[in-house]
């Protein structure tokens, strides 16, 4: 006799096998008991090949794609196909899936990391906003457009921490710091997945690349990674752990090795840490062709070995390669792979599809009328403009060169001034160059008839041709000010695009030198996907605006800042080196036994320093100027003791001492004076954006808990240690206003440790 729940599940199974009644009798996708019963009964009816099909994602390049779908032997396929009618494509393939025996819906996925059709600033730029509410709105807009076209799963956010700007994929992440990285990761997750994964405008998100990909040796993509356990747990794992705790639906292992083991085959990492210790219940999807690449890594002799190792490690889904489809049936039949491993993985896949609401309505994520309303909508364009504007960082502004008067004669010069495609970046989903407003057009529109705006390209982004420099010089000589738009295009940033040098490519520096030599004020607008080494520009031009890769609204956003319609408010999420030889460079470095002190010349030869460049960066983490100025009062702590289970509040009064409204990002850092392992010179533990009118003040308050001070203590695992901690609050990682408190072990107070003389603002 069936239980009441079993009968209900059987009825639900009957619904899914009859597409005409889909959605008519299904319970809400938020009902866990119904989901488990439904999935278990569906799983019991599946053949081995149908099960393995659910563990496979094939691309549009697979010749038998449609036949696999009709046969019910495929879990999903890519839905991010530039140049295609994605809505028509996803609907057609879902209709094919409804012709299969069990009518299990497909899911459609791809890289939606900074927009779908409306293209927003790249993730590194979004991190420069330090505005989590804005980032959430951006990714929700991206999800709304993608889901309206039938795409229900994004391979984002990328939360790899990176301290080496040579790596091209820094453009996809949030920079060098785990606290900022985790905050941005959670904001993106809220934007993609929302509060209800089954809502028609939310989609599954993926935490990638688990873990350490951002620390590849030499900054060279796909290279090996070696991380000591302390660095792994304190820096590289926290953003992933934050996403797991926040309910991320999927995790993608890194393509790379971590301490000699490819992540795709690392059972201790994927099953031991991720599933068992962290309690992750979602799906683990391989990176593109990562499973057969286990042979190239040298740990699998055959494709069958690769499939067996990946599945045993915990990889549920094979992305693109077809290795699971080809190898797993025989491995199960000959007893090499237990059917239980297959069933566990399939159950996780079906659970995810259930939570998406696909069994309730296989076509819920394709809606032509909604697509027409949201895609490239005025609201999304306005959001893209705001996000681009907030992401830009003013690096230099001598003698208040900016903002510009619209009545000036302006020379707009450079290879990226009138480039549309480069403003989209490398991974721009369905973005189209014709939707981009380039910088030249934005400046002309903002200046109107009051200004004379002339243009010369000068040089290409890359290449040795300098024949256009002379013409650019003549344009500059006839102007009152030159706006130089320099940097990198999509061929120099992103996956597979690591660089050994961090300067301006091609003849761009020669162009800059020639324009500076005219004696006219020069404003540089940088378009780039990584920190660059621009010491010469810093020393010779009047102003520098870091614009990153801003997306569709590039021109209007740049013009808003150049002409003072808005004041810059972005802050750097990565340190800018003076020279590539300083890399890796980051603010949260360890002190040494022989620290370099720039205030004294005593024994400098035997301290940690370079003989040809200062230790300090060109621009530090958290740095960014404004058209107004902010002052910080004394740091106030509401107690000099923090006990286990307690909280401590740190506050500071921030005042706008300039003559115009502006925003600043107030940043809190801590430093552990003495620990059982050498502590970093300081660590970001809080930030808040504040907007103040001229002359206005605001008290900014932070909460510190003992858990905020936890770190990896070797064999004792993550935890805290009693002792004295310094607190710094200011506008970047060099903040000097400070206080201190004692973290008590919960029973007896701890003696206050004297401040070490070498503890100071970080060098990088």
Q: What angle, rounded to 10 degrees, do the helices at 554-562 and 378-391 form?
A: 50
Q: Which residues pair with 210 in a beta bridge?
A: 253
pLDDT above 60 (res 18): no
pTM, entire model: 0.95
Asked if residue 324 lies in contact with residue 318, where contact means CB atoms within 8 angstroms, the answer is: yes
Which of 266, 269, 273 lies closest to 290, judged by CA? 266
Which of 104, 43, 35, 38 lies closest to 75, judged by CA? 104
- Return mean pLDDT, the chain: 94
Per-residue pLDDT averaged across 26-39, rounded? 86
Q: What is the pLDDT of residue 598?
A: 76
Per-residue pLDDT averaged across 222-227, rounded? 98
Task: Measure the CA angle with vertex 182, ends 272 and 662; round to 5°.
Answer: 180
Q: What is the pLDDT of residue 756?
A: 52
Q: How many CB atoms lie within 10 A of CB 195?
A: 8
Percent of the chain with pLDDT over 90: 90
SS3 for 318?
strand
d(CA 177, CA 183): 10
pLDDT above 60 (res 535): yes
Least confident of 21-35, 48-62, 170-184: 21-35
Per-residue pLDDT averaged across 288-303, rounded? 98
Domains recognised in the chain with CATH numbers = 384-582 (3.40.50.1700), 619-743 (2.60.40.10)
Q: What is the pLDDT of residue 716?
A: 86
Question: Residue 26 — very low, low, confident or very high, per pLDDT cuts 50/70/90?
Answer: low
d(CA 136, CA 141): 9
Bridging pattern class, strands 718-719 and 711-712 = antiparallel
d(CA 409, CA 481): 7
What pLDDT digit, counting tens, does each position of 632-660 carry? 999 999 999 999 899 999 999 999 999 99
Q: What is the pLDDT of residue 753?
A: 55
Question: Residue 233 — very low, low, confident or very high, per pLDDT cuts 50/70/90?
Answer: very high
Percent of the chain with pLDDT over 70: 94
What pLDDT digit, counting tens, does each position of 113-151 carry? 999 999 999 999 999 999 999 999 999 999 999 999 999
Q: Which of the following is catalytic: 287, 361, 664, 672?
A: 287
Q: Which residues pair with 712 in a beta bridge?
A: 718
Q: What are phi and psi of 636, to 5 degrees?
A: -115, 130
Per-residue pLDDT averaged across 567-586, rounded? 98
Q: Take residue 281 and report the two structure tokens written for it.
A: 């219940």
Which of 77, 24, 27, 32 lies closest to 54, judged by CA? 77
Q: What is the pLDDT of residue 741?
A: 98
What pLDDT digit, counting tens, does each position of 78-113 carry? 999 998 999 999 999 999 999 999 999 999 999 999
What pLDDT digit, counting tens, does each position of 591-611 carry? 999 998 877 755 578 899 999
Residue 287 bears catalytic tag: yes
DSSP 116: S
What pLDDT digit, counting tens, does each position of 710-744 carry? 999 988 889 999 999 999 999 999 999 999 999 99
Burial class from Cβ neighbours inside 10 Å (0-12, 13-18, 19+) for residue 630 reads buried
Q: What is the pLDDT of residue 25?
A: 57
First to last CA, the chain: 70
What stretch of H or E contains 751?
Answer: none
Question: Residue 755 — very low, low, confident or very high, per pLDDT cuts 50/70/90?
Answer: low
Residue with tokens 């007896």: 748
Residue with tokens 């004041």: 567
Burial class from Cβ neighbours inside 10 Å (0-12, 13-18, 19+) for residue 697 reads middle
């Amino acid at each position: 006799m069936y239980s009441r729940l079993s009968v209900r599940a059987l009825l639900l199974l009957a619904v899914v096998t009859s597409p005409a009644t889909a959605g008519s009798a299904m319970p809400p996708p938020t009902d866990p008991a119904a989901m488990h019963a439904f999935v278990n009964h569906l799983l019991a009816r599946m053949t081995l090949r149908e099960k393995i099909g659910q563990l496979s994602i094939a691309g549009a390049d697979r010749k038998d794609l449609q036949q696999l779908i009709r046969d019910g032997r495929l879990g999903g396929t890519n839905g991010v196909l530039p140049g295609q009618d994605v809505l028509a494509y996803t609907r057609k393939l879902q209709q094919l899936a409804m012709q299969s025996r069990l009518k299990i819906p497909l899911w459609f996925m791809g890289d939606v990391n900074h927009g779908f059709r409306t293209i927003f600033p790249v993730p590194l730029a979004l991190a420069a906003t330090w505005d989590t509410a804005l980032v959430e709105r951006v990714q929700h807009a991206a999800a709304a457009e993608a889901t309206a076209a039938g795409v229900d799963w994004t391979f984002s956010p990328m939360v790899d921490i990176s301290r080496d700007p040579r790596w091209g994929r820094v453009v996809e992440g949030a920079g060098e710091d785990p606290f900022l990285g985790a905050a941005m990761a959670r904001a993106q997750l809220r934007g993609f997945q929302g509060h209800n994964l089954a809502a028609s405008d939310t989609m599954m998100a993926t935490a990638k690349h688990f873990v350490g990909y951002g620390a590849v040796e030499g900054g060279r993509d796909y290279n090996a990674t070696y991380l000591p356990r302390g660095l792994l747990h304190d820096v590289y794992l926290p953003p992933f752990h934050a996403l797991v705790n926040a309910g991320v639906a999927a995790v993608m292992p890194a393509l790379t090795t971590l301490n000699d083991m490819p992540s795709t085959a690392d059972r201790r990492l994927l099953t031991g840490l991720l599933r068992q210790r962290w309690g992750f219940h979602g799906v683990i999807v391989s990176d593109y062709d990562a499973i057969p690449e286990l042979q190239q890594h040298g740990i699998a002799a055959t494709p069958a070995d690769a499939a067996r190792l990946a599945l045993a490690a915990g990889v549920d889904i094979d992305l693109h390669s077809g290795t699971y489809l080809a190898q797993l049936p025989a491995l199960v039949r000959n007893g090499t792979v237990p059917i239980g491993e297959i069933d566990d993985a399939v159950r996780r896949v079906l659970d995810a599809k259930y939570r998406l609401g696909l069994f309730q309505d296989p076509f819920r994520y394709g809606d032509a009328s909604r697509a027409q309303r949201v895609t490239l909508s005025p609201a999304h364009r306005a959001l893209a403009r705001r996000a681009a504007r907030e992401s830009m960082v003013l690096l230099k502004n001598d003698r208040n060169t900016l903002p510009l008067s619209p009545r000036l004669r302006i020379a707009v010069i450079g290879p990226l001034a009138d480039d549309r495609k480069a403003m989209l970046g490398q991974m721009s989903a369905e973005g189209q160059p014709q939707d981009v407003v380039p910088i030249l057009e934005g400046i002309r529109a903002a200046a109107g008839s009051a200004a004379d705006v002339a243009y010369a390209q000068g040089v290409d982004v890359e290449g040795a041709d300098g024949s256009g420099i002379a013409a650019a010089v003549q344009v500059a000589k006839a102007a009152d000010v030159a706006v130089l738009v320099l940097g990198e295009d999509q061929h120099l940033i992103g996956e597979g695009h690591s660089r050994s040098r961090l300067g301006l490519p091609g003849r761009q520096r020669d162009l800059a030198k020639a324009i500076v030599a005219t004696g006219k004020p020069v404003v540089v607008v940088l378009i780039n996907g990584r920190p660059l080494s621009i010491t010469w520009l810093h020393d010779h031009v009047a102003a520098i605006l870091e614009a990153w890769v801003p997306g569709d609204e590039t021109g209007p956003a740049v013009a808003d800042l150049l002409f003072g319609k808005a004041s810059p408010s972005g802050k750097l999420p990565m340190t800018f080196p003076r020279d590539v030889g300083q890399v890796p460079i980051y603010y949260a470095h360890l002190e040494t036994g022989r620290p370099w002190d720039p205030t004294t010349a005593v024994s400098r030869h035997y301290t940690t320093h370079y003989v040809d460049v200062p230790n300090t960066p060109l621009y530090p983490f958290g740095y960014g100027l404004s058209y107004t100025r902010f002052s910080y009062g004394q740091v106030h702590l509401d107690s000099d003791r923090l006990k286990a289970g307690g909280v401590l509040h740190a506050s500071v009064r921030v005042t706008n001492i300039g003559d115009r409204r502006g925003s600043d990002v107030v940043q809190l850092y801590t430093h552990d004076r003495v620990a059982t392992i050498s502590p970093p010179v300081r660590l970001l533990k809080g930030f808040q954006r504040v907007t103040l009118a001229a002359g206005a003040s605001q008290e900014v308050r932070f909460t510190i808990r003992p858990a905020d001070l936890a770190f990896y203590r070797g064999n004792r695992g993550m935890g805290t240690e009693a002792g004295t901690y310094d607190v710094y609050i200011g506008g970047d990682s060099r903040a000097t206003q400070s206080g201190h408190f004692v973290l008590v072990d919960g029973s007896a107070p701890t003696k206050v440790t004297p401040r070490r003389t070498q503890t100071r603002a970080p060098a990088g």
